[in-house]
Amino acid sequence: MRLLAFLAVLAAFLLVPARAACACSCAPFEPRTAVGDATSVFTGTVTGLRQLPGSPLGPTPPFVVTFSVDQVYRGERQATVEVATNADSASCGYRFTRGARYLVFASDGPMGSGLFSTDPGTGLYSSLCSGNVALRPGSGPLRRGDEAASPEGSGRSLTKELLTVLGRPAPAGSPSEPPASSPTASPTASPAASPAMAPAASPAASPAVSPAAAETGREGGQVWGPVMGGAALLAGAAAVSWLSARLTARRRRTR
């Protein structure tokens, strides 16, 4: 009897699916870390859900979710994006609903960096720990209060910090911003077309005194110098003669 009871318990344990025996544990959500670690961050509406084929005795294959993207906060500005996720929350899968809109944090990596047992064949994947937020219907940039009730019951909301880290989005499908265009260089003007600069004034045109005139001035100075000196001597001699005559006249009166 004991052997039969042990075998019954062992059989029941073996029949429990492997995915139910494990649980998904996520670290606390940090907006800056979530955005920095993601390859693509966007808002979009689920337009397609398909589960990959798998073996009944093997692990549950993942889902591939198709989004019609409306706003892109990080990554390529594609109008349609496919993202893989596991089938249930026990294996960290996020339960997306067809027709619902989400803020999606998606990453890339081979086999979802070990998240999947079956290759989903998509370049992007997302999980329960990525930071996804269920949204109300719409298509514009996110605002406070745009979150909806999450089917996973995570209660994640659009906090001011999250919206600040996300920044301003770009509409999906819009071309990437071209590099700043350099100013077009104006054609170089030919020497004939460019305005000629006025030639510098030649020494002949300047009002400088010619050497001949300067020499004449020097000669004039040499001539007039002695003349003026002689005149001064004559004036002095006349003054002395006049004073001498006055003194002589006074002496005569005194006698």
- 55 shares its domain with 167: yes
Question: Is 231 inside a domain boundary?
Answer: yes
Instruction: Specify whether 151 is located in the same domain as 246.
Output: no
Q: Which of 110, 144, 171 is at the close of a domain?
A: 171
Q: SS3 for 193-252, per residue?
A: CCCCCCCCCCHHHCCCCCHHHHHHHHHHHHHHHHHHHHHHHHHHHHHHHHHHHHHHHHHH
Question: How high is the pLDDT of residue 16?
Answer: 40
Q: Domain check: are 105 and 216 in the same one?
A: no
Please tell me the predicted confidence (pLDDT) of residue 51. 92
**61 and 142 co-located in one domain:** yes
Are 138 and 45 in the same domain? yes
Structural domain count, the chain: 2
Same domain, 158 and 218: no
What confidence tens digit (pLDDT) does each residue in 193-249 have?
Answer: 444 444 444 444 444 444 444 444 444 444 444 445 555 556 666 765 766 777 777
- Asked if 76 and 162 sit in the same domain, the reply is yes
pLDDT value of position 240? 59
In a domain, 5, yes or no: no
pLDDT at 172 over 70: yes
Tokens 């004449």, located at residue: 216
Which tokens go with 75? 């990554």
In a shared domain, residues 93 and 161 = yes
Three-class secondary structure assignment of 139-155: CCCCCCCCECCCCCCCC
| CATH for 80 | 2.40.50.120
- Report d(CA 124, CA 89) in Å as an integer: 18
Residues 103 and 217 in one domain: no
Q: Assess whether pLDDT exceeds 90 at residue 100.
A: yes
Q: 152 vs 18, which has greater pLDDT?
A: 152
pLDDT in tens, 119-139: 778 889 999 999 999 999 999
Structural domain span for residue 56: 15-171
Give 115: exposed, middle or buried? Use CB within 10 Å, 0-12, 13-18, 19+: buried
Residue 61 is predicted with a pLDDT of 87
> Is 178 contained in some domain?
no
Vertex 44, ends 42 and 50: CA angle to 5°?
115
Does 231 lie in the same domain as 158?
no
Let me know: does 68 contact 45? Beta carbons within 8 Å. Answer: yes
Residue 206 lies in a domain: no
Residues 166 and 237 in one domain: no
pLDDT at 218: 46
CA distance 28 to 31: 10
Q: What are the tens digits of pLDDT across the range 46-97? A: 999 999 887 777 778 899 999 999 999 999 999 999 999 999 888 899 999 9
CB distance 95 to 63 below 8 Å: no
Phi/psi for 148 (5° steps) reads -120, 175
41 and 133 part of one domain? yes
Domain assignment present for 2: no
Alpha carbons 83 and 44: distance in angstroms, whole number: 11
